[in-house]
Structure 1
Amino acid sequence: MGIQALLSADPAASHVGAHWATGLDLGVLAEVFDEAITIAIMQRELAPQLLASIAAQCAAQPWELAWRGVPDSALEQALTRSMPAPQHAGELIADVRLLAEAVACLFDVDAVGIRMRLLAGAMCPRFHCDNLPVRLVTTYSGPGSEWLPEQALERAGLGNPEPGKPEVVRDAGAIRRLTEGDVCLLKGSGWVGNEERGIVHRSPAVAAGQQRLLLTIDPEF
């Protein structure tokens, strides 16, 4: 089945909350076009072959890939050059290309911007909102990104700390975390009509000795 068919299919076992949507296949990502939705999450369990490919790339020092272009064989070649264990990277490279093609198809763009990083610490540990239209995020290994339902946050607290500024988190018990392998689209404040409602999220804490393999994909509008 082609990317277009996967994205246009009705999402299996989908659920729509106040401003989020979850499902078990790529079709749920299209829910991000709903005006009310600020985060769309595809929940998935990674296959054993993909897990093995991921583990091989995590048995190394922190590394990073930054790439922009059409998600075709050129992307696969760039990933192969960047990964520390390219001989075991086939399954992971195929998955990255699939997600990059999905972003390009969903937002009708030719090119995407990709960053893939093996991290040893939290990259953005404070809750924040991205000033961009939309971003795909998935954590292949390690703890997933955390996000706040609208009712659990105080937007006046966002930004740099200042005397008298309220706390961003109203209810710490309401913090949601993506699981390893989940794929989400985060709608930012740069999305027209969503300027005051960008999803608020942060990088999770990473324990000593733990690593996190993170992929982000931005459509190049």
Structure 2
Amino acid sequence: MQSKAVLKEQVSSSLIRRSVFSDEPSIFTNIYDESVNVALWQRNLTSEVKADVNKFINTASHLERSAFIRAQHIEDDIRDELRTTILGDAFISNTCQLIDMFCTLFDLEQVGFRIRLLDLPMCPRFHIDRVPCRLVTTFSGQGTQWLDNNNIDRSKLGHGNQGLDDCESGLYPPNAHIESMTAGDVALLKGSAWIGNENTAVVHRSPPYRSGEKRLLMTLDIL
């Protein structure tokens, strides 16, 4: 099936960066293109995965796990990490598939795995990741948001905001469009430790808080 990719060019004064969207996971290979710093697979979760997630969301009050997952023992390691939760086989199988794809794409022997149940934004301010690349997916709730590279004033990140909100600091213009992932989407976000991307890492944040919302967020990192 031919991928339905949509490319959005992000232009800065000296470098071009694109966000790449598709309903096929093969879009992830585009992350090796120097001009791409976001590769997003717009997927739909199966009813079985949704059922696992909803059952967990409705009964659990806390989850925060971090681990190194071995590429040759993905299912064993994930089951060990999630053994005390009620997350079922459909969710575990789906998670293992994502980890296997990530390890294969980057030829990794192990991967940094993190899963959290959030009822407040984890990173509410726009920021960059000082990693080569991070996979991000939200199984429930709002997804990660990011800014186009065009018209960003990166000097306003961190302490450069001088205590002002991001919308007031000059980080981005008032009419800037903020991109958003939805539940089920899987994105590769290129960080500042990717060679050649030191000054164009994806500027992103957790979505704004919604009262009563729980988010189940999973990330994978290149070690």
For residues 173-209 of structure 1, what are the alpha-carbon distances to aligned partners after superposition, in whole Å with 9 as ceiling and x for unaligned? 4001101100000000110000000010000122121
- Offset of 1:152 from its aligned partner? 4.3
Q: Paired residue for 1:175, among 170, 175, 178?
A: 178
> Which ranges of structure 2 fall in alignment gaps of 5 or more residues?
10-17
Letter in 2 for 1:65: R
> What is the root-mean-square deviation in Å for CA atoms of aligned residues?
1.9
Q: Secondary structure at the match of 2:83?
A: helix
Query: Do the aligned partners of 1:124 and 1:202 also contact (CA within 8 Å) in 2?
Result: yes
2:61 aligned residue: 61
Taking a change above 3 Å as real, the CA distance of residues 172 and 214 of structure 1, as seen in their structure-2 partners, is farther
- Offset of 1:80 from its aligned partner? 3.3
2:140 aligned residue: 141
Query: Do the aligned partners of 2:63 and 2:116 also contact (CA within 8 Å) in 1?
Result: yes
Q: Secondary structure at the match of 1:135?
A: strand
> Which ranges of structure 1 fall in alignment gaps of 5 or more residues?
1-9
Query: Do the aligned partners of 1:152 and 1:171 also contact (CA within 8 Å) in 2?
Result: no
Partner Cα separation in structure 1 for residue 64 and residue 194 of structure 2: 27
State TM-score, norm by structure 1. 0.88
Select between 166-175 and 193-202 the one with higher mean Cα deviation. 166-175
Matched, 1:24 2:23: yes
- Work out the number of aligned pairs and report it: 208
Taking a change above 3 Å as real, the CA distance of residues 163 and 202 of structure 1, as seen in their structure-2 partners, is closer
Matched, 1:75 2:47: no
2:215 aligned residue: 212
Query: Do the aligned partners of 1:65 and 1:82 also contact (CA within 8 Å) in 2?
Result: no
Query: Do the aligned partners of 1:147 and 1:199 also contact (CA within 8 Å) in 2?
Result: yes
For residues 15-39 of structure 1, what are the alpha-carbon distances to aligned partners after superposition, in whole Å with 9 as ceiling and x for unaligned? 2221111111210011111000010
Taking a change above 3 Å as real, the CA distance of residues 53 and 79 of structure 1, as seen in their structure-2 partners, is farther
1:13 aligned residue: 4
2:203 aligned residue: 200
Structure 1 runs (4+) greater than 3 angstroms displaced: 163-166
1:157 aligned residue: 156
